[in-house]
Amino acid sequence: MKFWHKIYLFSIVVFVVIFNAASVMVIERSHNKMLWQEINGALSQNRSIHASVDAIVPILRIYDSLDYEKTVLTRIANEFVQKNTDQRVYLDIRDGPERAIFNNTDFPMPDTLGELYKLEADEIKYMLSDIGPRTVLFTSNITDINRKSYVFTYMVDVTHVYQDRMDQYRFFLKVDAAACVVYMVIMLFVSRGLTRSIDRLNRTARVIAGGGFSERVRLRSKDEIGVLARNFNDMASVVEDKITDLERNNEQKQRFIQHFTHELKTPLTSIIGYANFLRTTKYNEELFVDGLNVIHAEAKRLESLSFKLMDLILLQEERLRIETHELAEIVAEIKPALDMAAAQKRVDIVADCEAGSLVADKDLIQVLVFNLVDNAVKASAEGQTVTIRVRWHEGRCVLQVTDKGSGIAEEHRDNIFEPFYMADKARTRSRNGAGLGLAICQSIASAHQADIRVASEEHRGTTVEVVFAPDHSEGGHHR
Q: What is the CB-side half-sphere exposure of residue 375 using CA atoms within 13 A? A: 30
Q: Is residue 382 packed enough to be buried (19+ CB in 10 Å), middle (13-18) or exposed (0-12)?
A: exposed
Q: How confident is the model at residue 422 (pLDDT cuts 50, 70, 90)?
A: low
Amino acid at 451: D
CATH 3.30.565.10 domain residues, the chain:
321-477
Higher pLDDT, 428 or 131: 131
Where in the chain are all domains bearing CATH 3.30.450?
A: 3-165
Q: What is the mean pLDDT of the chain?
A: 82
CATH class of 213-317: mainly alpha
304-313: average pLDDT: 68
- The per-residue pLDDT for 430 is 45
- pLDDT confidence of residue 262: 61
**What confidence category does residue 34 fall into, taking pLDDT thresholds of 50, 70 and 90?**
very high
More confident call, 173 vs 222: 173
Residue 425's pLDDT is: 46
pLDDT at 83 over 50: yes
Angstrom distance (rounded) from CA 427 to CA 421: 13
Determine which helix (DSSP H) or strand (DSSP E) holds 46, and give its type and residue range.
Answer: helix 3-63
Is 321-477 assigned to CATH 3.10.20.740? no
Q: Is 445 buried (19+), middle (13-18) or exposed (0-12) by CB count in 10 A?
A: buried
- Over the range 134-154, which residues count as b (16 or more CB within 10 Å of their CB) and which as e? ebbbbbbbbbebeeeebbbbb
pLDDT of residue 18: 93
Res 420: pLDDT: 60
Using CA atoms, how far residue 22 sits from 102, 138, 468, in Å, is 46, 32, 77
The larger pLDDT score, comparing residue 358 to residue 83, is at: 358
Cβ proximity of 439 and 418 under 8 Å: yes
Per-residue pLDDT reduced to its tens digit, 209-220: 888 878 887 777
Q: Give me the mean pLDDT over the 269-288 stretch.
A: 82
| % of residues, the chain, pLDDT over 70 | 87
pLDDT of the residue at 428: 46
Q: What is the mean pLDDT of residues 391-412?
A: 85
Residue-wise pLDDT for 116-162, tens only, equals: 777 777 788 888 988 888 899 999 888 888 778 888 889 899 999 99
Please count the other Cβ atoms lying within 10 Å of the Cβ belonging to residue 414. 9
Q: 40 falls in which pLDDT band (50, 70, 90)?
A: very high
For 436-466, the pLDDT digits (tens) are: 668 778 888 888 888 988 888 888 889 999 9
What is the mean predicted confidence (pLDDT) over 95-106?
A: 79
DSSP 358-396: EEEEHHHHHHHHHHHHHHHHHHSPTT-EEEEEEEEETTE
- Is the Cβ–Cβ distance between 331 and 369 less than 8 Å? yes
Q: What is the pLDDT of residue 316?
A: 59
Work out the pLDDT band at 265, boundaries 50, 70, 90. confident
Mean pLDDT across the stretch 386-413? 86
Q: What is the pLDDT of residue 427?
A: 44
Neighbours of 418 (CB within 10 A): 18
Is the pLDDT assigned to residue 479 strictly greater than 60?
no
- How many degrees, rounded to 5, is the angle at CA 47 between CA 44 and CA 51? 140
Average pLDDT over residues 206-229: 79
Instruction: Supply the DSSP string of 148-172, one letter for each residue.
Output: EEEEEEEEEE-HHHHHHHHHHHHHH
pLDDT on residue 181? 93
Where in the chain are all domains bearing CATH 1.10.287.130? 213-317
pLDDT at 98: 66
Q: What is the mean pLDDT of residues 309-333?
A: 75
At residue 202, does pLDDT exceed 90?
Answer: no
Q: Which of 10-14, 19-23, 86-90, 463-467 has the lowest mean pLDDT?
A: 86-90
At residue 119, φ and ψ (nearest 5 deg) are: -115, 160
Per-residue pLDDT band for 419 (boundaries 50, 70, 90) equals low
Can you give the pLDDT at residue 192?
A: 82
CATH fold for the domain made of 3-165: Beta-Lactamase (3.30.450)
Q: What is the pLDDT of residue 474?
A: 59
pLDDT at 477: 45
